[in-house]
Amino acid sequence: MNILGIDPGTTTVGFAIVSDKWGKAEIVNFWVIETVPKDELKNKLRDIWSDMKELIAEYKPEIIVIEKLFFQNNLKTWIDVAHARGVVLYESILSHAHIFEYTPLEVKSAITGYGKADKKQLQNAIQLLFKLRELPKPDDAADAIWLAYMGYLNKRSLEF
């Protein structure tokens, strides 16, 4: 079973594939979908949609976990990221995968036991959990790993 974690954004979208191998979570792949920073939003959304479609076709996830948005001070950035999240959610729905959505606070609480943990603490937890030689980078991809891991932890709530 493959689980896809997605950390939405407009310039970078973090993604991670975690697989359930004999009852143990294993990282299959992680990185970022990148768009041209100064490009128009419509072009970025097209690129994100295209790459999401390819990711889903390649890995055929049964569960997709997408980070919920939390309000930021910059309303324009928040709205643009909401558009990108919508594209990710739409393509996820078309895949017929089970979809989970979590806020950063929910994930931090589940992974570290502390809802206000910083990114470094989460990266350290992921490094220990998956026995990685170094901290997972870039940050957006590391975020996607813990989202996918949340899907792994909560897959038991589904009937397969």
List, for residues 112-141, the tens digit of each pLDDT value: 887 888 888 889 999 999 999 999 999 999
Choose the CATH number for 2-157 among 3.30.420.10, 3.90.320.10, 3.40.50.360, 3.40.640.10.
3.30.420.10
Q: What are the DSSP calls for 103-137, one per residue?
A: -HHHHHHHHHS-TT--HHHHHHHHHHHHT-SS---
Asked whether the predicted pLDDT for residue 158 surpasses 70, the reply is yes
51 or 115, higher pLDDT: 51
Q: Known catalytic residue: 140?
A: yes
Token representation of residue 28: 């299959």
Determine which one of 51, 62, 67, 91 is catalytic. 67
- Identify the active-site residue in 51, 62, 140, 143: 140
Whether 51 is a known active-site residue: answer no
Whether the predicted pLDDT of 160 surpasses 60? no
Of these residues, 7, 51, 62, 143, which one is catalytic? 7
